[in-house]
Amino acid sequence: MILRLTSLFCLLTVLVRAQPDVERPKYWVLFKDKDQTAAPALSSVAIARRQVQSLPLDDTDQPVSKAYIQQLQHEGVRPLNRSRWLNAVSARLSAEEREKILALPFVAGIEAIDPAIVITAIKSDNETPMVKPQMAPVMRQIQASDFAQAGLTGRFVSIGVIDAGFFGADSANALKHVFAREGVKRVRDYVNDDKTHGDLFRTLETMSDFHGTEVLAAIAGNDPVERIQYGLATDATFYLARTDQGNREYRGEEDNWVAAMEWMDSLGVRLINTSLGYAKGMSNPKENYEPSQMDGHTSLISRAAQIAADKKGILIVVSAGNEGDDRSWRIISTPADAQGVLAIGATNSRLWNRIGYSSIGPESLPYLKPNVSCFSLYGTSLSAPVITGFAACVMQANPKLTNKEVMAIIEQSSHLYPYGNNYIGYGVPQASRAIALLRNQPLNTTSRQIKAVGKMVSVPITTTESVVSVFHKKDATHVLQQEAAKVNNGKLVIRRSSGEKQTTVDLKTEVIEVVWE
């Protein structure tokens, strides 16, 4: 299985083969308690931002016990990453070491770290690479010009980007303005600790090292040569973390991701984009996740994401995944399944319904996933950063908003709201609606509900489109199928499917919900 990345700037044709991982398995070693006298491992900026949000400091802000780490080292175990949120350290253990560590009185348990990370960029064996994917359609779709006219460019907002690599970011035309003003404040490489700031941008280990550069450009890119704006948050500041080694088997490091999250939290970062997701991979099948485990709390990475949302005031924007066409999976990956994160799907540009590869929300979840969506030809990896830029503009407009309030504004600004579904969430966020919500202005009525009986209904509609999107649903949110329906003489004829209880008619500027009786 080959991951093919289409760069916004250039695409190298050399494929770098990763060496097979022959090291011992990696585990989380979970501790029972902490040293309650230890000071919070947070910067003064992070503490001040918690106070503004009325989020109390608690034991998840205290560091992992130094005494426990010393005892592990005494037993010959070398801790790799430390998580104060999970009260754990990661380490590679043999079977004998695992049993010995598990017997220690301060160890609450040991959990295997799933190695199957999938960078959520679309793969197509027949795809012809394009040097410069046209991003203008998505900017028009989300009404980027409305934010620009309001002077909202993400200024004074710090954004964390957790990804696979940032090769060439400091020399890419679309990102030169960010580096010229020293907009990238700090960089961490959790794969190679000895890399310096510059090395991260100049060393190409695998083709995945382009991925973070693409994502960063989709958040803040503005190419003066091509006169194309790729992202909304052109004036934001950035903290970058490379957490995935990007090898051919898509093996990832969940503990690197958690460590990066906690590092950014310690610096006071409130908005984080991660276009990575854990699902299944090419490693040991016994260690892969099952679709039933995408429940928001089984994986440690989702539990960490929920801690970040609930206790740290962080808005995490996550790619929903690109398994929509994979009949053996189809649904979102983790941590997009966590309730507190903003999971982003992908739409097509014409009808704004789900593009085939975009992952679907599991029907078992008691909440809606994905949350919202927007256009992307190249995977949800590039739809998530667009919405991250959208969130930065909202946060610039009102810095006092909590992460959950920003998330609510993004959802309520979306074109299908309040009739969301598990294909595209509440739909495509609209800048004009977000600005109205920020100003406490009333929104024009854009949704209505009608009753229908029988097997067919003719709905009068006002639209200039000859074809519109229709979602046939088994209940309020779960889609049976989506349809491109023709409009004839100002009317849309809807034929009820077997088991259909509700139908959403998407006119882009208006949404009609048909409730079958």
Residue labelled with tokens 């994917």: 133
Q: Where in the chain are the domains?
A: 26-112, 117-121+134-438, 447-516
Residue labelled with tokens 């003003």: 181
Mean pLDDT, range 163-187, rounded to an integer: 95
Contacts of 24 (CB under 8 A, 6+ apart): 92, 93, 94
Strands (E), 224-360: 228-229, 237-242, 271-274, 276-278, 315-319, 342-347
**Span of 46-50, 225-229, 246-250, 316-320 with lowest mean pLDDT:** 246-250
Mean pLDDT, range 135-164, rounded to an integer: 92
Please report the pLDDT score of residue 308 as a whole number: 98
Please report the pLDDT score of residue 245 as a whole number: 76
Please give the helix or strand (H or E) that residue 110 lies within, else none: strand 107-112
* pLDDT for residue 109 is more than 60: yes
Contacts of 194 (CB under 8 A, 6+ apart): none
Buried b (16+ CB within 10 A) or exposed e, 501-510: bbbbbbbbeb
Q: How confident is the model at residue 21 (pLDDT cuts 50, 70, 90)?
A: very low
Mean pLDDT, range 181-191, rounded to an integer: 94
Please report the pLDDT score of residue 247 as a whole number: 61
Asked if 354 and 484 count as a contact pair (C-beta separation under 8 A), the reply is no
Please report the pLDDT score of residue 204 as a whole number: 83
Asked if 446 and 415 count as a contact pair (C-beta separation under 8 A), the reply is yes
Q: How confident is the model at residue 13 (pLDDT cuts 50, 70, 90)?
A: very low
**Span of 127-141, 232-246, 349-363, 485-499 with lowest mean pLDDT:** 127-141
Q: What are phi and psi of 82, to 5 degrees?
A: -115, 135
Each residue's pLDDT tens digit, 372-424: 999 998 899 999 999 999 999 999 999 999 999 999 999 999 999 999 999 99
Cα–Cα dist 409/439, whole Å:
11
Mean pLDDT, range 217-236, rounded to an integer: 92
Each residue's pLDDT tens digit, 259-304: 999 999 999 999 999 998 888 874 567 668 899 999 999 998 999 9
Six token digits for residue 5: 């990345």
Q: How confident is the model at residue 112 (pLDDT cuts 50, 70, 90)?
A: confident
Please report the pLDDT score of residue 501 as a whole number: 98
Mean pLDDT, range 24-46, rounded to an integer: 92
Please report the pLDDT score of residue 385 as a whole number: 97
Q: How confident is the model at residue 471 (pLDDT cuts 50, 70, 90)?
A: very high
Strands (E), 218-307: 222-223, 228-229, 237-242, 271-274, 276-278
Six token digits for residue 11: 């695409």
Mean pLDDT, range 427-456, rounded to an integer: 93
**Measured at the alpha carbon of residue 282, what is the angle toward residues 133 and 344, in degrees to the nearest 5?**
40
Residue labelled with tokens 């029907």: 363
* pLDDT for residue 440 is more than 50: yes
Percent share of the chain, pLDDT over 70: 88
Mean pLDDT of the chain: 88
Please provide the CATH number assigned to the domain covering 447-516. 2.60.40
DSSP string covering 319-355: E--S-TT-TTT-B--BTTTSTTSEEEEEE-TTT-SB-
**Amino acid identity, position 83:** S
What is the length of the chain? 517
* pLDDT for residue 445 is more than 80: no
Cα–Cα dist 245/251, whole Å:
8
Please report the pLDDT score of residue 104 as a whole number: 96
Q: How far is C-alpha 8 from the geometric centre of its chain's CA atoms?
A: 19
Please report the pLDDT score of residue 136 as a whole number: 56
Cα–Cα dist 382/219, whole Å:
9
- In the three-class reduction of DSSP (H, G, I as helix; E, B as strand; rest coil), residue 501 is classed as coil
The residue among 9 and 474 whose pLDDT is bigger is 474
Fold held by 26-112: Alpha-Beta Plaits (3.30.70)
- Binning the chain into helix, strand and coil, the percentages to the nearest 5 are 25, 25, 50
H helices of 35-157, where?
44-52, 66-74, 95-102, 136-141, 144-149
Please provide the CATH number assigned to the domain covering 117-121+134-438. 3.40.50.200
Percent share of the chain, pLDDT over 90: 76
Cα–Cα dist 333/289, whole Å:
9
Six token digits for residue 355: 């593009």
Mean pLDDT, range 473-501, rounded to an integer: 97
Please give the helix or strand (H or E) that residue 369 lies within, else none: none
* Count of beta carbons in the 10 Å neighbourhood of residue 35: 13
Please give the helix or strand (H or E) that residue 143 lies within, else none: none
Please report the pLDDT score of residue 252 as a whole number: 52
Q: Report the candidate in 501, 503, 508 with the shortest Cα–Cα distance to residue 459.
A: 503
CA atoms within 13 A on the CB side of 249: 16
Please report the pLDDT score of residue 128 as a whole number: 39
Mean pLDDT, range 199-225, rounded to an integer: 90
